[in-house]
Each structure stands twice: as structure tokens, then as C-alpha cells.
Chain A
Amino acid sequence: MSHASVSSTARFGSLYWAIQAKRNIGVRGLFVVVLAFMVAYGFLFHGLFTGSGFAKFTQSWFPLALVAMAQAILMLTGGISLAIGALVSLGAVLAATTMTGPLGVAGGAALVSLVGLGIGAVTGVIVVKLRLPAIVVTLAGSFIIAGAALLVLPRPGGAIPPWLSDLLAGNTPAAFGVLVVVVLLWKLYLATPLGLSLYAAGENPVGAYRSGVPVDAARIAAYAISGLLCTGAGLFVAAQTGSGDPIIGNSFTLNSIAAAVLGGIGFLGGQGTMRGALAGSLLLSLMISVMFFLGFTPVAQYVAQGLIIIGAVAIPQFRMRAR
């Protein structure tokens, strides 16, 4: 798991799969838990196996999956962002205020993407080049971005063309399809020089730098991609709800960190896998629905949620130590 940069050996088929299997060790427990929840959910709610049931469920999960990826990329480089939620809100209000205007859907989507990439890149430059702590920069950034979202749309409103809402969040699993594409793009990115540098820059920046790895560029690129994923999640939330809300993203900041940590991503960088973060986000989303169908009271849900998270994080740790 530690020598992650070895994934450059992807061309040696058997070695690739061996490494992938080794990387799964830390999150195997989580995969089992997620699978158990999936089975339980399917058992409790048979509609899950219908097209629209599956579509609705994956739509609930989709924005959380994107922000979990956004946070995971940063944490892999040894960074973190407390501005995830604010960026989601900003993406949502930008989409809801532009897409029915002269910019149209394509223009609005381009604006949302550019703003995400731009804010991410600027944050990355500040953190990396000025050597300021990411947690402070992104905390300050979150206030600025949240304020910007409130300036764009002071109170919930705006609109998304209904056909776009129906396309992305209707009765077809389009959101799931988009997620598959995003994951494939992530795999492709990992094969590029910048992508390869990602893990190295996080785990051992000094060593990586001395070996000629473009550490700074890799970290700034990670912030830019992370920003893009966040505003993209915002666009989806706007489509899902048919409108914009300047504070809709608030809870995504903590949930993105919870999903990443649950997925075995370390705070110190270079440790963990994207599939872990995705599984973590899936578990967080599944918990809500499964506990509903089990008839848990809200208070019991708070307790159960905490216990499941501790369990999913602690059990693999204990097993590692026992080894």
C-alpha cells in the first residue's frame, strides 16, 4: 500500500492486479460492511432493483461520492479542504442562475467548471507556493466562497431547465453512468505524469522532489481537480433539486472528510485509495436509507451512525496491528 507509485507498472498485468489486491487490504473490512448494507437495503426495499429505484438511490449518493473524491485527492497529497461545502453551494447557485439565462446549459456548465477549477487552482497556489497550512487557507476560503454564493443568490431560488433535471436526476441511472465515467477518468489521470506524482508528493514530498517528481505541480493540480469535482457536485445538486440554494452544500465538508477517512485515506498523505473513499461515501449514504427502513428513531440513528463509523475505521486498524 505504501509504495503506491508502483502503479506505473500497470503494463505488467499480473503485477498490477497483485498491487491492486494488496491495496485493498486496508479497506476489505469496509467493503464487507458496505456489501452487507447493500444486501440489507435490497432486502428491506425491493424497489431498489427496479430502474427508477436504483436511479433514485444512486442520485442520493452521487454528490457525496464526488465530494469524497474531491477530499480524497487532497488528502492523498497531504492536504485537506474545509471549503468543499461552500464550493458545492457556489456551483449550485451558479448553475441555477445561469442555465436558464443567456449562457444556456452549456455556458452555465462551462462557467461552473471554470470557477471550480479556478478557485481550486488559486487555493492550490496559495497553499503550495506560499507554504501556508491548507487547513487555514481553506477555512478562510470557505468564508469567502460561502459569501460569494450568498451574493450570487441571496436566498433559495433560480432554476434549472426541467429537461436537464430529468436527464440527470430522473428515473434513469444517468448519475451512476456519470460516476463511472469520472472514476475511469481518475484511473486515466493516475497514469499521467501528474497523476503518478500525486501519491509520491503526499507520502514523501522531499524524496519525491529530489527524484525529479513535479511535487508542486502535482499538488496544485490536485486542488484544481478537487475544486472542479466540488462545483460539479453543486451543479448536480441544483439539477436534482431543480433550483439553487446558497447554503445547500454546508454539510458536505464534514461528510467528505468522514467518507475519505472511513475509506482508509490517511491525514498525512500518500495513504489510501480512491475506491476506499467511494466505498466510504456509499456507506454514509446507505446508512441513512437502511436505518430509515429499520425504523430507527432519530436519536438511535445518531448513536448507530457513530458506532458504525468507529467500527469501520477501528476494526481494520486492530487487524493490522494484530498481524
Chain B
Amino acid sequence: MKKSSLFASASVLGLGILVNVLGASQADAAANCIKGDRKAPYTLGWANIYSVPTWMKQTQGTIEAEVEQLKKEGLVDKLVVTDAQGDANVQIQQIQSMIDADVDGIILIAGSSTAPARVLADACAKGIAIINFDSLVDTNDVTAKVNTDSHQWGEQATKFMIDALGGKGKILILNGPAGVSVSDDRRAGGNDLLKANPDIQILAETNTAYNVAPAQEAVTSLLFANPEIDGILSFGGALSAGAVLALDKQGREQVPITGENARQFLELWKEKGLKSWATMQPNWLGAFAAYTAVQALEGKDVPAFVKIPLPVIDNSNIDEYLARAKDFPADGYIFSPYDRDLFAKLLAQK
């Protein structure tokens, strides 16, 4: 009896040592930029590029909700928010201010894929956890990047369009702003397929902000110039809504169109019985970034790139999205539900 209890305690001790060793090795495998000298509760900085678009407001909403949760858990005591008003130079200055104020973590949507590289290197060298999501930077001096695959986004949308037209037809292509990585990547994703299908004729391409009004305006003028249009390959949800409205205002027949989970587009899709395909850039990327920053600061290993799967929205599941429409702003995005289990699963993938 005594012997066995001795044995038990010895094995517990052994197990304890083993756990300690494992713990230590886990700490050694700490995420990039993490030095382990920062202790909870942490101050998080949210460096937004532009707070006005509805997508950004919804994203900020998920960050604030997550931070409230983290505050309750005693892991975060403060969230500082900056808005660069679309100016990549101002964003650099604001990240510098966050470094000066010694925040523990920075979550970032970058205004330029290259411009913040040097200021981020400074932050990384100071042991600040940097989680970059949505609009990514090229540099690797961050703890983790979190995003869907913009290239894949474009490829899948283009594939749907080619299939919908049976490989032959005249299309318009609607892009986001020129010179912006997300917009360029989505467009580039469709390139190979378009080249392989020469019977798909591109009538015109537009570059507008990801908003309904400018897209509607651009498509309206293209409709005058092109009496025959078989499909609209749109690389943004608000752009799609603008295109559908433009067709509708001119009494033109609706054509197959791609898009995103923008509430307005999904509602138009249902109302007009469109032949469509859509995907989603989830707003909870913001909440996930805040969660990941704290995980990294707590010494957890965090992958350098977390790829968020792109869901497909089609006629089979659009009702699931529309059923929750009233919970979202009229000009907002109906994003899928999320919780900590989902976050843990995303972080565990390699």
C-alpha cells in the first residue's frame, strides 16, 4: 500500500516534470515576435485603415465583443482604436504611436501591402504580438496573418461564371479599387480560367470602391454601351448589388452574376430569382484576430498563416443566410455564426 502510494506520487512527480518539460518546449515554440515578457492583462491596439464602410463597422463590432469577453477573463484591460481614414501614411504614424504607448498586441487591416513593413519590424522587435487580417502585408515581421484566399475567391467566382455561360458569352468584370492587393488578387485568381476559355469575351472592366453607388453608376454607363451582356463577373458583394440595381433600373434582363454575402445582394438575389454564386469574407476575422493576439501573448504557438475557408452561398443555402438578415444592417454583410470552438479549430489547423 505504502509502496504503491509512493510509486503513485513518484509517477505523479514524474508526470509533473514531463508536463513541465512539455510546457517549456511549448514556450520555446512561441509564435513569431513573442518574447514572453508581457503579462496579462494586455492592452490591444486595433489599427484600422478606414472605419466608415459598413463592413468595417461590423468587423469592429466583432472585435469589441471579443475584447469584452477577454476582459471578463482578465486577459485584456484596454482596447485602443485608431482610424487612418484611408491614408496608409497616417496608419504608419498610428502604429508608431501604439509602439510608443507600449501596447502588447496590435491587430491590423493594412492600408498598403508594403508601406507598414518597417514600422511593423520595429513593433515585432519589441515583442508586440501583431495579427494582420483581411488586407495583408507582404512582410513576415508579424505574428500571424489571417485571411481567406483572395486568389481562390477569384478563381471560384470565375469558374461559376464560365460554367453558368456554358463556356461562351460576353461578360462585364467588376473589380474593387486598382492597386489594392485584395482587389488585384481576386482578379488575378480568374486570369488562368479566362485565358483557357477564349469564347468568354470580356466587354469591359471597372475599378470602383467596394460600394453600391459607384458600381451602379459604372455599370449603368456600360449598359448603354453594350446592348448584349450575358454575365457579370463581380469581385465584391456591394459591386454585385450595384450591378443588379443598374440592370433593374434600365429594365434589362438579369444575367448570371457572382458576389458576396452583402445583405442587399442576397436579398436582390432572392427577390429577382438570380442565377448566382457568392462567398464570404467573414467579419469575425476581427474577433478572431483579437483572440489570436491574446493566445500568442499567452505563449501559445500560433501558425504564421491562418487560412480561413471560403464558404459557398448558392440556391441551396441562401435561405439560411437570409433567415438571419434582420440581425444585420441593411447595407451590411450577413456573416456566419462564430464561437471559441471555431477559433480553436482554426488555430489548430496546420
Contact = CB atoms under 8 A, between A and B. Distances in A.
Interface of A: 45, 47, 53, 56, 60, 63-64, 150, 154-158, 165, 169, 237, 240-248, 250-252, 285, 288-289, 292-293, 295, 297-299, 301-302
Interface size band for B: 20 to 34
B233 to A, nearest CB: 20
Given A241-B114, A292-B97, A298-B83, A251 B90 contact: yes
Contact of A45 (B80, B81, B101, B114): B101
Q: Which of A242, A252, A298 has the most CB of B within 10 A?
A: A298
Contacts of B138: 156-157, 243
A251 B114 contact: no
Q: Which of A53, A56, A150, A158 has the most CB of B within 10 A?
A: A56
A241 B97 contact: no
Contacts of A158: 114
Interface string B37-70: 0000000000010010000000000000000000
Nearest to A46: B100
Given A45-B101, A150-B179, A251-B87, A285 B118 contact: no
A246 B118 contact: no
Given A251-B90, A285-B93, A289-B93, A245 B114 contact: yes
B113 interface: yes
Contacts of B101: 45, 292-293
Contacts of A156: 112-115, 138, 179, 181
Given A156-B114, A250-B86, A288-B90, 6 more contacts: A45-B101, A150-B178, A245-B113, A251-B86, A251-B87, A292-B98
A243 B97 contact: no
A165 B92 CA distance: 15
B76 to A, nearest CB: 16
A150 B184 CA distance: 12
13 contacts: A45-B101, A47-B100, A60-B92, A156-B112, A169-B118, A247-B178, A288-B93, A288-B94, A292-B94, A293-B101, A298-B81, A298-B83, A302-B85
Given A154-B179, A241-B114, A292-B97, A297 B86 contact: no
B114 A243 contact: yes
Contact of B89 (A63, A150, A293, A301): A63
Interface in B254-305: none
Contacts of B206: none
B218 interface: no
Q: Which of B88, B113, B114 has the most CB of A within 10 A?
A: B114
Contacts of B332: none
A169 B138 CA distance: 20
Contacts of A63: 89
A245 B179 contact: yes
Contacts of A251: 85-87, 89-90
A298 B46 CA distance: 11
Contact of B117 (A45, A64, A241, A297): A241
Nearest to B86: A251
Nearest to A158: B114
Chain B's interface: helix, strand, loop or mixed, by majority?
mixed
Given A150-B178, A156-B138, A248 B89 contact: yes
Contacts of B80: 292, 295
Contact of A298 (B82, B177, B180): B82
A232 to B, nearest CB: 15
A215 to B, nearest CB: 35
B40 to A, nearest CB: 21
Nearest to B178: A150
B93 A60 contact: yes
A241 B116 CA distance: 6
Nearest to A159: B114
Contacts of A60: 89, 92-93, 96
B36 to A, nearest CB: 23
B118 A165 contact: yes
Nearest to A244: B114
B218 to A, nearest CB: 16
A165 B101 CA distance: 24
A289 B98 CA distance: 10
A246 B179 contact: yes
B97 A157 contact: no
A64 B200 CA distance: 47
Contact of A292 (B82, B117, B118): B82
B82 to A, nearest CB: 6
Nearest to B88: A248
Contacts of B177: 247
A116 B93 CA distance: 26
B142 to A, nearest CB: 15
Nearest to B48: A298
B181 A56 contact: no
Contacts of B90: 251, 288
B58 to A, nearest CB: 15
B119 to A, nearest CB: 8
A93 B82 CA distance: 27
Contacts of B116: 241
Contacts of A241: 92, 112, 114-118
A242 B100 contact: no
Contacts of B178: 150, 154, 247
A250 B50 CA distance: 14
Q: Which of B48, B81, B82, B93 has the most CB of A within 10 A?
A: B93
Given A155-B184, A288-B94, A240 B118 contact: yes
Nearest to A239: B118
